[in-house]
Structure 1
Amino acid sequence: MSVLEGPVCGMTWGWTGVRGTWAVPEAAASMQAMAEHAVTWTAISYAALQATPFSTEIGYDSEPTVTDDEIVWAIREARALGMKVCLKPVVNVADGTWRAHIGFFDWDVPGEPSWTEWFASYRAFLLHAARIAEAEQCEMLCIGCEMVRADGQEQHWRALIRDIREIYSGLITYNCDKYQEDRVTWWDAVDVVSSSGYYPIDAWEENLDRIERVVTASGRPFVFLEAGCPSRVGSPARPNDWTLAGAPSGEAQLAYYRAMFDACARRPWVEGFFLWDWPPRLYDEIDAFSNDDYCPYGKPAGRYLRETYAAMSRKERA
C-alpha cells in the first residue's frame, strides 16, 4: 500500500490564515461543513509575508499571519472531525506579487539580496511549522507552494528537507506549480510528489500523460495539493485565474469537476486531491448561487464532490 494509506479525499481549509479568523465559532462551523462533504484529509494552509519579491525577511510570527494557537486549534478541530492533516505554511508577498516570482541572482553577490539569505529566513519559518506538525502529529507537511523561481535552487531545498527531517517524522511533500512537475529535479528528497492541477478542462489527458512520466521516474506517490475551478462562466478554460470576469455559474464548476475527476480516475497513480478551497468563514448557503469563487459549498459541484469522495472511500474499504 502507498504511504498515503488510501485515497486522499482532501480539501484546503483556512486560506490565507488571517489572524483572528481561526479558532472562532464561524471557523468551527466552516470546518464541520467541509467534513460533511466526505472530506478525509485537509490541507490547513496559512501565509506569512515578505515585503517584496526581493525581500529576504519573512514575518511568520506577526500579523496578519495566524498565531500558533490558532494553527494548533485548526489541527485539533480537523482531527476531532476525523480528518488527517497536511500542514501547509506558505510565503506570500505583501505587495501582491505572486510568490512564484520571488527570486534572486542564481549565485550570491556581495551587497545584493541572495538565495542564501532568503532560505535562511524561509528555513526558520518552515522549521517552526515542522515543530508544530510534529507536536500535533500531522500526517504530512507541505514545505513550499508554487515557488517557480525557487524551484531551481536544488541544494537549498535538499538542505532544508534534511533539517526538517531532524524535527518532523511525518510525510514531506512539495507543491509545485502547474506545468512544473517535470522541471523539479529533487523529487527524490520528498515522500510525496504534488502539484497545483489547474489545467484547462480540455487539457487533462495531455498533462496527465506528462505528469505520469515524472511520477513513474520518481517512484513516489502523487496527489494534487491544489486543484479546482471557480464557479463562473469561462473559468473551466482558465481555472487558475481567480480574477477572470464572468457571471456566477455552478454548472461551469460542476462540468470542470466532472472532467477532472473522470480523467484522474483513469490514472490509478493519482492518489487524490486537496481541492481549492474552503474558507474559514463560509458564505450563507442561500447565497451559493451568486458566489463565483472556488469553494463548492451549496453548489452543484459540492453535491457531486460529496458523492464522489464517498464513493472513493467506499471503494478503498471494499
Structure 2
Amino acid sequence: MKKIVLLWVFIFASCSSGKLAKVNGVSFVSSREEVAQHHIDPVLHVSANYAAIMPYGFIRDLDSPELVFDTEHQWYGERREGAKQYIEKMHQNGVSVMVKPQIWIHRGEFTGNMKMPTEEDWKQLEAAYEKFILLYAALAEETQSDMFCIGTELKTFVNERPEFWNKLIKKVKSVYHGQLTYAANWDEYAKTPFWSQLDYIGVNAYFPLCEKENPTIETLTEGWQPWKTKMRELATQEDKPILFTEFGYRSMDYTGKKPWLVDRNQMDVNLKAQADATQVIFGEFWNEDWFAGGFVWKWFMQHDQVGGHEDNRFTPQNKPAESVIRRQFANVKESSLKD
C-alpha cells in the first residue's frame, strides 16, 4: 500500500508541475551503531526527501572473485540487519529510500577496474554478486523501499559480462517491484548497455569542470555545458530521466579539477569552492524536466562530529555547502507543496 501511495504522490507532483518530482537525497553512510532519531533530525533539517542506504560487500583485490557480505565482522549498518533498521527509521520520518548495495575493495581500489583473470573466476564473482544483490533486492521489497540500485561504478564488470547483467536485472525484477537504477561512474554512463531495462539513468556526477585553484561560478557553469548536453541527449534517446546517484564536491582548492578524488591529500580547505560548485549543480540541473534529482555524497550519522571548517573532505555537513543544500531542498519542497 505504501508503494502505491508514493507512486501516486510522484505522479501527482509530476503532472501538476509539468516536471518530474525531484529526488533531494543524501547518501547516508553506514555506521557501527543503530540509527536513532537524533541522527535523522539533521536529514530532515535540510529537507531531504530521500536517503541512499548503502550496505557493503568486501573484496580483497581487483582480481579476486571472493565477495564477503552480511557477516558479523562488518559494521552494523553495512549488514542486512542494520540496513533494514536504517530504512525503517527513514520511512518512519517520511523519508523515501534508495537501497544501494556497494562493493569496497581493499585499500580503496577503484571498483571500475575490477577484472577477473579467468572464466572460472568471473563465474565465481558473478555467483557471489548475484547473491549479494538479490539479498538486498529482497530487503528492498520487504521494507517497501522506493528505489533499488543494482550496482555502483562497475565499468569493467559491466563491459566484460553483459549477459550476466541482463539476467541479473530480470532476477532482481522478480524479487523487487519498485524503481531500478545503476550508479554509473561519470566516464561510463554513456556506454552502459542496459538503461532501457531500468527506470533511471544513474550517474555518479564527478565530472571534471575546470583546473582553477579557486573556481568561479562562471567557470564551473561553463565547465558543465558539454557534459550537460550529452546527458540531455542520452535522456532523450533512452526516454529515461537522469538521476545523480551521487553528486558532491570536496571543500578544497581545485575542487572542480578531479572531483572524484578520495585520497587523504593535504590540499588547502576551500569552503567557498565547495559551496559554489554545489550551487552551480543545482542551478544547472534541478529545473530540467529530463533530470530526476540526486543524492549528496556523503552524509554521516554523527552530524555534530563531522565536517566543519577545517575539513577538506566530501561531506557538506557543518560547512557553507550544507546551507546551500538546505535552501535548494527547501525551495523544491515548498514548490511541490504549492503545486
What TM-score comes out, normalization by structure 1 length? 0.90
What TM-score comes out, normalization by structure 2 length? 0.84
1:72 and 2:72 aligned: no
| Correspondences of 1:1-318 after superposition (within 5 Å) | 1=11, 6-14=21-29, 17-18=30-31, 21-25=32-36, 28-62=37-71, 63-65=73-75, 66-104=78-116, 109=119, 112-114=120-122, 116-152=123-159, 153-201=161-209, 202=220, 203-243=223-263, 244-265=265-286, 267-284=288-305, 288-317=308-337, 318=339
Specify the code of the residue in structure 2 equivalent to 1:78: M
Look up the SS of the partner of 1:267 in the other structure. Answer: coil
Look up the SS of the partner of 1:237 in the other structure. Answer: coil
The size of the alignment, in residue pairs, is 306
Deviations 1:69-96 (A, max 9, x none): 2111100111122110000101121243
Question: CA 1:41/1:254 → structure 2, altered by over 3 Å: closer, same or farther?
Answer: same
Look up the SS of the partner of 1:289 in the other structure. Answer: coil
Q: CA RMSD in A?
A: 2.1
Specify the code of the residue in structure 2 equivalent to 1:230: R
After superposing the two structures, state which structure 1 stretch, 221-230 or 60-69, moved more.
60-69
Specify the code of the residue in structure 2 equivalent to 1:141: F
Question: CA 1:260/1:224 → structure 2, altered by over 3 Å: closer, same or farther?
Answer: same
Question: CA 1:280/1:209 → structure 2, altered by over 3 Å: closer, same or farther?
Answer: same
Q: Where does structure 1 lack aligned partners over 5 or more consecutive residues?
A: none
> Is the CA contact (8 Å cut-off) linking 1:30 and 1:282 kept in structure 2?
yes
> Is the CA contact (8 Å cut-off) linking 2:51 and 2:95 kept in structure 1?
yes
> Is the CA contact (8 Å cut-off) linking 1:22 and 1:74 kept in structure 2?
no
Q: Whole-Å Cα distance in 2 between the matches of residues 160 and 22 of structure 1? A: 31
Deviations 1:111-158 (A, max 9, x none): x522x2211110000010011111000000101001111121221111
Look up the SS of the partner of 2:138 in the other structure. Answer: helix
Look up the SS of the partner of 1:274 in the other structure. Answer: strand
Report sequence identity in percent: 20
Q: Where does structure 2 lack aligned partners over 5 or more consecutive residues?
A: 1-10, 210-219
Question: CA 1:247/1:174 → structure 2, altered by over 3 Å: closer, same or farther?
Answer: same
Q: Whole-Å Cα distance in 1 between the matches of residues 33 and 178 of structure 2? A: 24
Q: Whole-Å Cα distance in 1 between the matches of residues 296 and 194 of structure 2? A: 24
Q: Whole-Å Cα distance in 2 between the matches of residues 167 and 249 of structure 1? A: 45
Question: CA 1:86/1:214 → structure 2, altered by over 3 Å: closer, same or farther?
Answer: same
Specify the code of the residue in structure 2 equivalent to 1:57: E
Q: Whole-Å Cα distance in 1 between the matches of residues 61 and 208 of structure 2? A: 30
After superposing the two structures, state which structure 1 stretch, 246-255 or 83-92, moved more.
246-255
Q: Whole-Å Cα distance in 2 between the matches of residues 280 and 173 of structure 1? A: 25
> Is the CA contact (8 Å cut-off) linking 1:235 and 1:241 kept in structure 2?
no
After superposing the two structures, state which structure 1 stretch, 123-132 or 52-61, moved more.
52-61
Q: Which structure shows the higher helix fraction?
A: 2
Q: Whole-Å Cα distance in 1 between the matches of residues 130 and 110 of structure 2? A: 20
Specify the code of the residue in structure 2 equivalent to 1:131: A
Deviation at 1:316, TM superposition (A): 2.5
Q: Whole-Å Cα distance in 1 between the matches of residues 58 and 44 of structure 2? A: 29
Question: CA 1:96/1:306 → structure 2, altered by over 3 Å: closer, same or farther?
Answer: closer
Question: CA 1:283/1:236 → structure 2, altered by over 3 Å: closer, same or farther?
Answer: farther
Q: Whole-Å Cα distance in 2 between the matches of residues 293 and 306 of structure 1? A: 19
Q: Whole-Å Cα distance in 1 between the matches of residues 148 and 45 of structure 2? A: 24
Q: Whole-Å Cα distance in 2 between the matches of residues 266 and 309 of structure 1? A: 12
Deviations 1:178-234 (A, max 9, x none): 122211111111111111011234321110111111111111122100000011222
Deviation at 1:160, TM superposition (A): 0.4
Look up the SS of the partner of 1:10 in the other structure. Answer: strand
Q: List, as ranges, runs of 4+ consecutive aligned residues in structure 1 with deviation greater than 4 Å.
A: 1-5
